[in-house]
Amino acid sequence: MIRSVKGMRDILPPSSAAWNHVEAAARRVFHRFNYQEIRTPILEETALFVRGVGEETDIVSKEMYTFEDRDGSSLTMRPENTASVLRAYIEHRLDQQPGLQKLYYIGPMFRRERPQKGRYRQFYQIGAEAIGSDSPAIDAEVIELVVGLLTEVGLSDFTLLINSVGSKQSRARYNEALREQLKELAPKMCTDCRRRAETNPLRVLDCKVPEDQPIIDRLPSILDYLDDADREHFREVREFLDERGIAYEVKPRLVRGLDYYARTTFEITHGALGAQNAILGGGRYDGLAELLGSKVPAPGIGFSIGEDRLVMTTENQIEQPSLGVYIAPMGEAALRHCAVLASEIRRLDLSVEVGTERKLKRMLELANKLRARYTLIVGDNEIVTQSYALKDMSSGDQQTLTKQALLDHLARAQ
């Protein structure tokens, strides 16, 4: 038997209904905030992520699905979508469009991580990017959007964590301070940390090795290295959130595992998720567009929700779609007649299933299992009299109706 690839899974019914529910809710919320959909390719030039996400990040250094194409070029299956959206923004000169570019996406991402509950090698993100402004008001609006989206989907009891990683200059000073301290501390840490202490000390804060955590706790806080403009920006973001009544916790260790962040970073966690408790992550990435070759600055901020994790926390609250009408044809002539009748009922936007079993008893059992709202039994007699026995499966009531009365009844039952 051929099975699906490790860390990649099928999403089957009834679970797929929960995925659709989440995506429909997300699209509604994006519309209210005036975001429009962007679809970017799964494959990009490897250089996009190496430059955009950063060579020293876990994503680029060990998790990307990268391969050589037949013409020798190096391609990568997107591990995330912010770099791709910025690439599209630059390539199509979206800076020349009026106003901010507010773009959302829903789709699969690929990272070769160790699979576990809530962590897959093909996973799905629902994300958004607001490009073209460095105003803290946009940061607060993006956070308001994502909190609204989680609420719309039915999630509660989540925690919003925020931080500022400062501008490039502030971060460079912080990196130096870390490097200095790590000279003494790094030899006691894991091999990844020892390397990062030299190459990109900020990434030491991403370390998940339990033994390293007490050492990491002793390192300086990035908030003490912000310059005046960064500090003011962060103060305003918090003020805007307070005014909106959005609760948050400031978490100075939240530097996030991608190199493009500048100033605001945030994450939302949910207790029910266990070890992989981050339902989403996001932040500002001023400077990323220039890094990817843009001639004009394009400051931006966005987030990506882990859709697999969001579905996991809300799945059991979602009502499964049920079948509208199960038609049980008795005999060959009835089967043909029912096909036509079914198409008339489907025009009412009801879901209809026409039975193929020979025995009526089997068909009625099946109608029950499929949780049909109505069952319609059609035999030779019904065809001749053009009247039908409609059974309401929840009340057990049965009535005989002419075709028009049947269609009117079903239309009202919607």
Which of left, alpha, beta for 402 (phi over 0: left; psi -120 to 50: alpha)? Answer: beta
The token duo for 291 is 């890094």
Q: Does 111 bind ligand HAM (CB under 6 A)?
A: yes
Q: For residues 177 and 278, which CB has a smaller minimum distance to ligand HAM in the complex?
A: 278
Q: For residues 19 and 120, which CB has a smaller minimum distance to ligand HAM in the complex?
A: 120
The token duo for 102 is 């507010």
Q: Does 119 bind ligand HAM (CB under 6 A)?
A: yes
User: Which contacts qualify for 13-20: CB closer than 8 Å, 24 or more apart?
Assistant: 14/320, 15/311, 15/315, 17/318, 17/320, 17/321, 18/311, 18/314, 18/315, 18/318, 19/124, 19/307, 19/311
Q: Does 105 bind ligand HAM (CB under 6 A)?
A: no
The token duo for 316 is 């059991």
**Angle separating helix axes 15-32 and 136-153, nearest 10 degrees:** 150
Residue 269: CB minimum distance to ligand HAM, A: 9
CA dist., res. 209 & res. 300, Å (int) = 32
Q: Does 287 bind ligand HAM (CB under 6 A)?
A: no
Q: Does 303 bind ligand HAM (CB under 6 A)?
A: yes
Q: Does 80 bind ligand HAM (CB under 6 A)?
A: yes
Residue 308: CB minimum distance to ligand HAM, A: 5
From residue 228 to residue 267, the character string flagging contacts with ligand HAM as x (rule: CB under 6 A) and all else as - is -----------------------------x----------
The answer, yes or no, to whether the previous bond of 14 is cis (omega within 30 of 0) is yes
**Residues β-bridged to residue 387:** 402
Q: For residues 125 and 164, which CB has a smaller minimum distance to ligand HAM in the complex?
A: 125
Residue type, 170: S
Contact in structure between 255 and 281 (CB atoms under 8 Å) = no
Q: Does 141 bind ligand HAM (CB under 6 A)?
A: no
Residue 196: partners with Cβ closer than 8 Å, 6 or more residues away: 56, 203, 204, 207
Q: For residues 111 and 337, which CB has a smaller minimum distance to ligand HAM in the complex?
A: 111
Query: What are the strands of the beta sheet with 65-68, ordered from one edge?
Result: 43-45, 74-77, 65-68
Among 54, 166, 201, 281, binds ligand HAM (CB under 6 A): 281
Residue type, 145: L
Q: Does 129 bind ligand HAM (CB under 6 A)?
A: yes
Q: For residues 132 and 324, which CB has a smaller minimum distance to ligand HAM in the complex?
A: 132
Q: Does 304 bind ligand HAM (CB under 6 A)?
A: yes
List binders of ligand HAM among 165-204 (CB under 6 A).
none
Among 113, 144, 236, 290, binds ligand HAM (CB under 6 A): 113
Q: For residues 200 and 375, which CB has a smaller minimum distance to ligand HAM in the complex?
A: 200
Q: Does 84 bind ligand HAM (CB under 6 A)?
A: no
Q: Does 282 bind ligand HAM (CB under 6 A)?
A: yes
- Contact residues toward ligand HAM (CB under 6 A) are 80-82, 111, 113, 119-120, 123, 125, 127, 129, 257, 278-283, 285, 302-304, 306, 308-309
